[in-house]
Amino acid sequence: MSDQTNPFLIVQGQLHRAVQNLGLSEDVYELFKEPMRISRVAVPVRMDDGRVQTFLGYRAQHTDVTGPTKGGIRFHPDVNEDEVKGLSMWMTFKTAVMGLPYGGAKGGVICDPGQLSERELEELSRGYIRLLSPVMGPEVDIPAPDVNTNPKIMGWMLDEFDRVRGHHSPGFITGKPLVLGGSLGRDAATGRGVLFVVLQAMDRLGIDPKKATAVIQGFGNVGSHTARLLHEAGIKVVAVSDVRGSAYDASGLDVPKLLTYASEHKTTKGFPGSRMISTDELFSLDVDVIVPAALENQIDGERAEQVRARIVAEAANGPTTPEGDELLAERGIFVIPDILCNAGGVTVSYFEWVQNTMGYYWPEQEVNDKLSRMMVDAFSTVYQMQQEHRVTMREAAYLVAVHRVAEAANARGWLRVNFQHEVPGAVLRGPLAD
């Protein structure tokens, strides 16, 4: 991994730039440049054929300055320590942009879940939590789904944690099944958040959603819900892709039918009436919005040159390399940065944790309304910052986020910092403050 593709080095650069732009002391960078704790675990699994196989996993907890650490767990062959470290730091800045009372964390297990049986997957999920349970808990570190993990896996993980501790703690994990205390609206929350900020960006840029077109890279939880919700909002989705292939139809895909097709065929490839296109082609289509909803480093310098869309909505974490980012900015493309764009997921995770704490559950409409308000507020704050300081949306999001964590560190006595810039108040007062 180079400086251009290593999430840890990329986020360090983003943090450093924000510290300088805010005129804050280098102490702020020094304090937040590394995760406060990284755990590495080796999880033995008895495979179906009788062999034992050991899987390596990580959990990076970046900072608890604003509350317990929070973030998903991914199962993927490319998981590595620097990726998990970088992703944990992005979670800190994401929760800070939203004003949530959390710091960031991220976990990962090096495995190919497609090659594991359900029993093997369960044993791996339970073993991972058993080994990490000493450093987790509803007031310590709260996991959630990420790439290739889902409510079923969260259910096993919750059960394992409850067994280890000997009592129920539903707030230990979010994104769990409804019957175990999950929140209505959590499954679609990241996609719904993407829709809300895309509509905000369209409004600012004078684009009519009913005449707009979009493409989506990735058709997992985030990509598929985003496709459905954009389609329901009247935006024409012309192409989607997944790990196995893609579906392109210039006249617009029938998204409800595509969702059924993809769940039956485990890919969007071969969807009747569509043709397959390459990832390079997908990023160069003449549409209004591109939604990268897969993995990191998809929009590098070369692809950024080819982008014709007006808006890039980063539903994935870290989909744009630093070089790609600079080129998109130079070319005047409006980027809704990941730490804002995909924050709907962790925001509804926060609602889930709050509901678990209260033992009182909200109707879906209430969840969606609260999410809408928080996404619109956060977008407006970042947009205002971008206009006032003449920076990119990404830089603006970091200004808001880094100011918030620095202020918390100051209040705890970890720093002695002079705040030279006033950041718009709403975000700093916390979620849903009137």
Contact positions vs ligand GLU (CB under 6 A): 70-72, 144, 146, 174-175, 317, 342, 345-346, 349
For ligand GLU, the nearest residue by Cβ is 72
Query: Closest approach of Cβ 222 to ligand GLU, in Å?
Result: 9
Least separation in angstroms between CB 152 and ligand GLU: 16
Complex with ligand GLU: residue 70 or 310, whichever CB lies closer: 70
Residue number, 106 or 269, with CB nearest to ligand GLU: 106
Q: What would the 3-class secondary structure string for the chain be?
A: CCCCCCHHHHHHHHHHHHHHHCCCCHHHHHHHCCCCEEEEEEEEEECCCCCEEEEEEEEEECCCCCCCEEEEEEECCCCCHHHHHHHHHHHHHHHHHHCCCCEEEEEEECCCHHHCCHHHHHHHHHHHHHHHHHHCECCCEEEEECCCCCHHHHHHHHHHHHHHHCCCCHHHCCCCCHHHCCCCCCCCHHHHHHHHHHHHHHHHHCCCHHHCEEEEECCCHHHHHHHHHHHHCCCEEEEEEECCEEEECCCCCCHHHHHHHHHHHCCCCCCCCCECCCHHHHHCCCCCEEEECCCCCCECHHHHHHCCCCEEECCCCCCECHHHHHHHHHCCCEEECHHHHCCHHHHHHHHHHHHHHHCCCCCHHHHHHHHHHHHHHHHHHHHHHHHHHCCCHHHHHHHHHHHHHHHHHHHCCCCCCCCCCCCCHHHHHCCCCC
Minimal distance, residue 166 CB to ligand GLU, in Å: 25
Instruction: Indicate the residue among 154 and 253 with the shorter CB distance to ligand GLU.
Output: 154
107 sits in the region (left: phi over 0; alpha: psi -120 to 50; else beta) called beta
Residue among 70, 85, 106, 176 flagged as catalytic: 106
Which residues, in sequence order, are CB contacts of 85 under 8 Å at separation 6+? 7, 8, 34, 35, 38, 60, 62
CB of 39 to ligand GLU, least distance (A): 17
Cα pseudo-dihedral 190, 192, 195, 200, rounded to 10: -100
Q: Rank residues 61 and 174 by Cβ distance to ligand GLU and give the closer one.
A: 174
The minimum distance between CB 91 and ligand GLU, in angstroms, equals 6
Contacts of 277 (CB under 8 A, 6+ apart): 239, 241, 246, 248, 285
Asked if 106 is an active-site residue, the reply is yes
Smallest distance from ligand GLU to CB 316, Å: 9
Bridging pattern class, strands 52-61 and 103-109: antiparallel
Task: Select 225 or 236, whichever has its Cβ closest to ligand GLU.
Answer: 225
Q: How far is the CB of 269 from ligand GLU (least distance, A)?
A: 26
How many Cβ atoms from other residues are within 10 Å of residue 29's Cβ? Answer: 18
Q: Report the residue number, 146 or 300, with the smaller CB distance to ligand GLU.
A: 146
Taking the least distance from each CB to ligand GLU, the nearer of 127 and 175 is: 175
Between 91 and 328, CB nearer to ligand GLU: 91
Taking the complex as a whole, how short is the minimal distance between the CB of residue 241 and ligand GLU, in angstroms? 20
Which residue numbers are catalytic?
106
